[in-house]
Structure 1
Amino acid sequence: MRVVLSLGGSMVMQDFNADRIKAYASVIEKLASKHTILVVVGGGRVARNYISTARSLGADETFCDYLGIGVTRLNAMLLASAIKQAPKVVPEDFRQAYELSLSHSVVVMGGTFPGHTTDATAALLAEFVNADVLLNATSVDGVYSADPRKDPNAVRYDRITAKELVRIVSVGETKAGSSNVIDLLAAKVIERSGIRTVIFLGEPENIEKALKGDVEGIGTVVEVDQ
């Protein structure tokens, strides 16, 4: 299978812990023995700090996006350094990522263009390379009816349709550095392309479960609309 894995920067780059990064690399290497894995790494807290400081200095949102993209590419380089199968090149667009995937079982990249979160980048990449599945590893255990940090009555879904996902996330923020479970553009790309997607709590041990669709207690499967 061809798998696109979106790794939230806040998950993989927690305090730049080398052992944690190695744990993600180990899982990715294991999966790459059977599949082609294209990884998109987010910016996390470091990107948000850069963006917040830039805003206070008067930077516009597009400039802030470029700052965030720069951080995601640094994060991608760090993760790639721990993966034997990954080339020492971070693709800057989807065509380059696709070309590298023809000769490497793992390709690691960051953001691509202002206005696109790494969630959207991953969804567009999955569409471009005709991925079999998109795995979105995030800091929450799936899709809820509302923000569980704000609404104690929010309900987690084991399975939803792409159309339902678009409806749920359409109330979220779109500015640089926002941290919704998945952004609206990504959800719409998933809907239009019929990409089977799993949104899950992105601990290393959950990645293989998510690939198998075993999301009990850890995530949500977004099913293709009929």
Structure 2
Amino acid sequence: MAEDGSGETAGNQADGQGPVYKRVLLKISGEALMGGLAYGIDPEMVDRVAGEIESVSKAGTEVCLVIGGGNIFRGISAAAAGMERATGDYMGMLATVMNSLAMQSALERRNIQTRVLSALPIAAVCEPYIRRRAMRHMEKGRVVIFAAGTGNPFFTTDTAAALRASEMGCDALLKATKVDGVYDADPMKVPTATRYERLSYMDVLTRDLKVMDASAISLARENEIPILVFSIHNNGAFAEVVHARGRYTIITE
């Protein structure tokens, strides 16, 4: 495991001898799939992310994904506008299924076997989530995309990512964001924001750093799954982080 964001003490694997993490969960926000669009799914951006996943998968790391749905529908925003929160959250879960199917299509165009497993049974378009089935898919080298969050309202896709990473026995949870790590303020708005190389789970919780929600951080902490935060907009960044190289923030005990 990498000792810090520079990857200097990740064992002898960090010098290019192979991926440090053998099984990872990649969490991507729905907004990341918008690319330059104001709304929806940008096929070029989806294809670029699929290329990043392809390179990691072909290098021997087992990959699973959780994709948000904020590019299509956000339950919290709908609740703020007067919709019942549970209804809004279920609509958001359906949005994640749409994003997952788009990513599956992009990966399969690259001849990467992919399975979408949904926490909400939608038999016509994807498989229901069954833990042992998901494990078997990963053991066969398939990319597995977990759709519909946890299947329950009031839980975010961040929490779903931490839950699935725990269930799959992942070595790390990689959160792809717009920036190259965790900062003490939004670097897009505050140019002097400080970037962290390493944080503990408690640092994130006590400082109220907006990385993932508290339940996701707590779940990752309980199951000793490191969280690595990096920028999805840097080409090759996903593969670099899996090899404990490049720029990222690592959150561990």
Residue in 2 that maps onto 1:134: 173
SS in 2 for 1:108: strand
1:202 aligns with 2:232: yes
CA contact (8 A) 2:227 2:250 kept: yes
What is the correspondence of 1:27-176 to structure 2 with a 5 Å cutoff?
27-33=52-58, 34-48=60-74, 52-53=77-78, 55-56=80-81, 58-84=82-108, 85-92=112-119, 93=129, 95=131, 96-110=133-147, 111-112=149-150, 113-148=152-187, 153-169=192-208
Counterpart selection for 2:249 from 217, 220, 225: 220
Which runs of 5 or more residues in structure 2 are unaligned? 1-21, 120-128
Q: What SS class does the counterpart of residue 44 from structure 1 fall into?
A: coil
Q: Does 1:26 align with 2:51?
A: yes
* Structure 1 residue identity aligned to 2:52: V
Aligned match for 2:222, one of 183, 192, 196: 192
**How many Å apart are 1:212 and its aligned residue?**
2.1
Distance change (3 Å), C-alpha of 1:91 and 1:3: same
Pick from 166, 181, 195 the counterpart of residue 211 of structure 2: 181
> Where does the alignment leave 5 or more consecutive residues of structure 1 unmatched?
171-179
Q: 2:203 aligns to what SS in structure 1? A: helix
Q: 1:5, CA displacement in angstroms?
A: 0.5
Q: Count how many residue pairs are aligned between Structure 1 and Structure 2.
A: 211
Q: For 2:175, give the aligned amino acid.
A: N
Q: Secondary structure at the match of 2:185?
A: coil
Q: TM (normalized to structure 1)?
A: 0.82
Post-superposition offset of 1:123: 1.0
Which structure: larger Rg?
2
SS at match of 2:25: strand
CA distance in 2, matches of 1:73, 1:207: 23
- Greater percentage in helix: 1
Tell me what 1:8 maps to. Answer: 29
Distance 2:200 2:70 in 1: 27
CA contact (8 A) 1:142 1:220 kept: yes
Question: What is the rounded CA distance, in whole Å, between the counterparts of 2:77 and 2:223 in structure 1?
Answer: 33
